[in-house]
Amino acid sequence: MASVTLQSVRKNWGSFEALKSLDLHIPDGEFLVLLGPSGCGKSTTMRIIAGLEEVTSGKLLFGQEDVTNVHPRRRNVAMVFQNYALYPHMTVAENIGYPLKVTRVDKAKAREQVLDAARKVDLTDYLQRLPKDLSGGQRQRVALARALVRDPKVFLLDEPLSNLDAKLRVAMRAEIKHLQRTIGVTMIYVTHDQIEAMTLADRIVLMNKGAIQQIGTPDEIYDDPANLFVAGFIGSPPMNFVTGEVVDGVFRAPGVTVPGSPGRGPATLGFRAEDVTLAPAGAFQGTVFEVEPTGEATYLVVEVGGARAMLRTDKKHRPAIGSPVAFDVPASQCLFFNPADGLRIRRPVPHLQQVTA
């Protein structure tokens, strides 16, 4: 097992910059999730770590060892591919044992290790089958077992759950998390599904257009987004945004007046659906556009401040479409962003406020 460090890693495809100088340190034993929309560079980052892509410039270290130019077969990483990449002409046992066969592990010992790995993912009854005779979930487990069968330095998973149905995905998610916790291996997991990222990760690296947008624990990313992209990407439903202007510490947009706002000039106010409380004299005044009951809650789509926002309300709440709605959001849950560059406008830290006062 080893830590993984990327130092100013860049990757260009011709004139297209797939990765713009990436710096990232992944400590030994961490479950790190690379999250972002398609084309953000997360898979490229993973493939660089695996050695399947060469870097244009920069360095990659496993522990203290520079592996930038080491062939993938000598990196001792295990990888689970999105489509599993099982060898169709080999049985489950041969698939799982393949890494041992090519590295010429003693046959008796290899058989034991294959059994052991198969046991970990509950596949012992299927060892003589071919991949085509397995279900999606079983194939997934074969791919996991093939990665588990040796003792890799780093475990890479490239959207491993995206080909499974919703129910199986939830079950496998828990299995993968449990597995990582038990074996304590460094795991790097690529996904575009923010729920997967939130539930699995020790830390999330949120990427967009070849650059890291934010690195943090799921809570940090959710509660304290660094910019508009992060705020809008994480959370379901996504964060609501209202654009307006801050004058003398008060944010104003049509129907919205929020005092105690930082900065001045144009600003985008963000708040989450679940932080809303309905209040007749609230700081936000809008009209109900649509009502979406989900069973556990009722979401209101509200037109407010020239935009549409989602509010989470009581499951029994059923307002008439077009009726006025007023609500409040606690000051601490109102986040402000600069609409020009998307960056957070933070409130001054309290003790600094005192100094400047």
Partner 1 sequence: MTRAGSKWITFALWVLFSLMTLVPIWWMFLVSVKQRADLFGKPSFLLNIGRMTWDNYAIVITNPAFQKYMLNSLIVSTANAALVCALGLLAAYAMSRYRMKGKDNIFFWVLTNRMAPPAAFLLPLYLLFTGVFSVGEWSLFDTRIGLILLYCVLNLPFAFWLLQGIIDGIPAELDEAAYVDGASTWQVLRTVIIPLAGPGIAVTGILTWVFAWNEYLFASTLTSVNARTITTGLAEFVTVTGTNWGQMAAVAMLTLLPAALVLALVQKHIVAGLTFGAVKG
Name which of 88 and 322 has its Cβ closer to partner 1: 88
Min CB(189)–partner 1 separation in Å: 16
**Which region among 27-35, 70-78, 263-271, 344-352 touches partner 1 (by CB under 8 A)?**
70-78
Name which of 102 and 349 has its Cβ closer to partner 1: 102
> Is 75:67 a contact under the CB 8 Å cutoff?
yes
Q: Is 2 in the site for partner 1 (CB under 8 A)?
A: no
Name which of 42 and 312 has its Cβ closer to partner 1: 42
> Is 48:28 a contact under the CB 8 Å cutoff?
no
Pick one of 37, 87, 165, 178: the residue that binds partner 1 (CB under 8 A): 87
Min CB(38)–partner 1 separation in Å: 17
User: Taking CB under 8 A as the rule, which mask of x and - marks residues 129-158 in contact with partner 1?
Assistant: -----------------x---x--------
* 95: nearest Cα among 128, 57, 122: 128
Q: Is 72 in the site for partner 1 (CB under 8 A)?
A: yes
Neighbours of 131 (CB within 10 A): 20
**Which region among 86-94, 281-289, 320-328, 341-349 touches partner 1 (by CB under 8 A)?**
86-94
Which ranges of 211-250 does DSSP label H, i.e. alpha helix?
Answer: 218-223, 228-233
> Identity (one letter) of the amino acid at 42?
K
Distance CA 32, CA 216 (A): 10
Min CB(119)–partner 1 separation in Å: 20
Pick one of 14, 15, 16, 71: the residue that binds partner 1 (CB under 8 A): 71
Min CB(153)–partner 1 separation in Å: 12
Q: Is 163 in the site for partner 1 (CB under 8 A)?
A: no
Phi then psi for residue 220, to 5 deg, are -60, -45
Helix, strand, or coil (residue 122) = coil
27 Cβ contact partners less than 8 Å away, ≥ 6 residues apart? 3, 186
User: Rule CB under 8 A: which of 30-59 touch partner 1?
Assistant: 50-52
DSSP strand E in 230-318: where?
240-247, 250-253, 256-259, 265-271, 277-278, 284-293, 298-304, 307-313
> Is 22:47 a contact under the CB 8 Å cutoff?
no
Residues contacting partner 1: total by CB under 8 A: 25
Q: Is 128 in the site for partner 1 (CB under 8 A)?
A: no
- Between the CA of residue 250 and those of 70, 203, 253, what are the distances in Å? 56, 35, 10
Name which of 162 and 338 has its Cβ closer to partner 1: 162
**Which region among 76-84, 185-193, 220-228, 318-326 touches partner 1 (by CB under 8 A)?**
76-84
Min CB(80)–partner 1 separation in Å: 9
Pick one of 14, 16, 64, 102: the residue that binds partner 1 (CB under 8 A): 102
> Is 107:186 a contact under the CB 8 Å cutoff?
no
Residue 161: both structure tokens together: 């759950």
Q: Which residues bind partner 1 (CB under 8 A)?
A: 50-52, 71-79, 81, 83, 85, 87-89, 98-99, 101-103, 146, 150
